[in-house]
Structure 1
Amino acid sequence: MRAQDRARRAGTRPRSNHTLETALATLRDLAVLLVDHRGKNDWALVDVHDVEAFLATLPRARKRRLTVLRQFFRFARSQHIVLADPTRTLTAKEPNGFRGRTLTLDQQRELFRRCTTDTHVHPHEALVGMLALLHGASSSEVRMLQVTGVDPVAHTVRLGKRPHPVLLDPASWTVLQRCLAHREAWPTANPHVMVTKGTKAGRSPASTAQLSHVLDDCGYPPRMIRSNRLVDLVNTMDPKLVAAAFGMDPQATLIHLADYVARKRNWPPARQQIHSPAQMINASLRG
C-alpha cells in the first residue's frame, strides 16, 4: 500500500487493489496449508518443501504465486521474521514429469466392461474408448480411420501416421465390427469407419467437435484415456521406440515420461501380475 502511495505521488502506474487482494489471498492460502496440513504455526518454520507443496496445489499458477511468495519472504527476512528465504532456490519453471490425469485400475476395468459388454453404448463411443484405452489411439486417428484401412484377414487397422498396421486384440476387433455394422445401416458412400448423420451424404470424416464429445456419457475425455496408455508404454519402454511405433515426434512422447527412475530393472523382465485391461491384452498378444 505504501508502494501504491509512492506510485501515485510519482505519477507512475500503481498496483491495483485487485493485485493486492490476490497477493494477500495467496499468503492466506499458504498460511492455511501450513497450519492445517503441515503443522506449522510460525513463519520461521517454513522451509522450501512447504513452499513447493503449496505451489504444487495449483501448477498453472506457479509463476504468479512464486512471485508473491518471493516478495513476502524478502520482506519477512528484512524484518527478521524468518532467518532464511525458503523461496531463494526455487524457480518459476515447473518441474519435469507428467502431471496429466490418468485412469485408475478400477476406472480402466469399468471402461473396458462398458465398451465391450454394454449393448446400450453407442458403437462410436465403444470404438473410440477401446482404441484409446488399449492402443493409445487419438481422436484424430479414429476419426480419419477408413474402411480400406481395415484388414479383415490379419485383424489390423491403419491408424494415422503409424508406420505399421495396428494388430487388434479380440475385444477391440469385436467393437470395430460392431461399428462397421452400424455404418452399413446407413446408405452411404463415405469411406470412413465412423459415419454420422452429417457425413453420410458426403465423403468427409466426422467433425472434431463431435469426436470431442463422443465419450461424454462414460465421463472420461479421450485425451485422458489415451494418456493412460502412453504413460504406461513410455515408462516401461524406450520413449523413442514408442514415438516410432505411434508415428509421433519424440518430444511428444517425452511429455508422458513420469518424474522418476526405477531403482532396479531385471532383464529379461520377470513375470508380472496383470492388473489393467491393457496389460491383459498385451499378455494375450504375446501368447
Structure 2
Amino acid sequence: MRSVITTVAVGQQRELFRRWTTATDAHPHEALLGILALLHAASSREVRLLLVDDIDPADRPVRLGKRPNPVPLDPASWSVLQRCVAHRENQHTDNPHVVVTRITETGRAPASTAYISHVLDPCGIPPRTLRCTRLSDLVNILDPKLVAAALGMEPEGVVIYLADHVDRTRLPDTLTEKWP
C-alpha cells in the first residue's frame, strides 16, 4: 500500500508566502519554520536545531542539519531569518539557537519538539506538509538522487515523493498529442 503524501496547492502556498514575508501578524518562529520548510524543504528538526553560528551574514547561506553544503537563502527567506534573529536578540539570551522560547531562553537547549510541532498551528498547515510539498516538487522536477544528496537524505527516502501521475503540461507537445 502506498503512503499518501499531503501537499499544499499553489494558491495556498502563495497566501502562506505573503503571510510570512509581508504580513506582521505571524510570529517570527512561525514565519521561519514556514518559509524554510516551503522553500528549502527544511525539516522541523533542522529549524529547531539551527544555531546562530550556522548563519553566514556575509554570503547569506545557513547550515541546515546534515546537508553537505550550506543553503543559500533568497531575499525573502533571509528577511524572515533576520526577523527571527531580531526576535531572539530582544530576549537577551545566551542560548545559541535561533528559535528560543521563554522556557529555553535561560539555558542552551533547543526549543522542544512539541513547541516546534505547534508553531504553524495559526496557519493551519503542519510543518511536514510544507516540507512534503517542496520535496514532491523537487523530486518530480529533478533527479531524485541529486535531491537526496543535496538535502543529506538517503536516496530511498525521497522515492515516496515521486508522483504516480504525469502532469501533461510538463510534457513536450508531441507527446501530449498521443496521450488519451
Q: 1:149 to 1:208 in 2, by over 3 A?
A: same
Q: 1:210 aligns with which of 95, 110, 115?
A: 115
* Pairwise CA distance, 1:265: 5.2
Q: Report the Cα offset of residue 261 of structure 1.
A: 5.1
Matched with 1:146 is 51
Taking the aligned partners of 1:237 and 1:218, their CA distance within structure 2 comes to 29
Partner of residue 118, structure 1: 23
- Is structure 2 residue 12 aligned with structure 1 residue 107? yes
1:176 partnered with 2:73: no
SS at match of 2:141: coil
Gaps of 5+ in 2: 173-180
User: Relative contact order (alpha carbons < 8 A, sep ≥ 6): 1 or 2 greater?
Assistant: 2
Candidates 68, 86, 95, aligned match of 1:163: 68
Number of residue-to-residue matches in the alignment: 171
Q: In terms of Rg, which structure is larger?
A: 1
Q: Which runs of 4+ in 1 moved over 4 A?
A: 261-266
Query: Residues of 1 paired with 2:109 and 2:148: CA distance?
Result: 28
- Structure 2 equivalent of residue 188 of structure 1: 93
**Which amino acid counterpart does residue 25 of structure 2 have in structure 1?**
H
**Aligned residue among 221, 229, 232 for 2:134:** 229
2: CA distance, partners of 1:172 / 1:188: 23
1:127-174 deviation line (CA, Å, top 9, x unaligned): 000001100001000000000000001110000000000000000000
Q: Secondary structure at the match of 1:235?
A: helix
Unaligned runs of 5+ in 1: 1-93, 267-287
Alignment partners' CA distance in 1, 2:107 and 2:117: 21
Q: Deviations over 1:35-57 (max 9, x none)?
A: xxxxxxxxxxxxxxxxxxxxxxx
CA distance in 2, matches of 1:193, 1:228: 24
Q: Where does 1:121-132 land on structure 2 (aligned, <5 Å)?
A: 121-132=26-37
Deviation at 1:105, TM superposition (A): 1.1
For the residue of structure 2 that corresponds to 1:255, the secondary structure is helix
Rounded to whole Å, the distance in 2 between the matches of 1:237 and 1:194 is 31
Q: Separation in 2 of the partners of 1:254 and 1:176?
A: 30
Counterpart Cα distance in 2 of 1:165 and 1:174: 17
Shift of 1:260: 3.2
Partners of 1:258 and 1:110 in 2: how far apart?
24
Query: CA separation in 1, counterparts of 2:129 and 2:153?
Result: 17
CA distance in 2: counterparts of 1:168 and 1:265, whole angstroms: 30
**2:141, 2:67 → 1: CA distance?**
20
TM-score norm. by structure 2 comes to: 0.91
Matched with 1:14 is none
Task: Tell me which residue corresponds to 1:199.
Answer: 104
Percent sequence identity over matched residues?
A: 63
The separation in 2 between residues aligned to 1:142 and 1:262, in whole angstroms, is 32
Structure 1 distance, partners of 2:119, 2:165, is 34
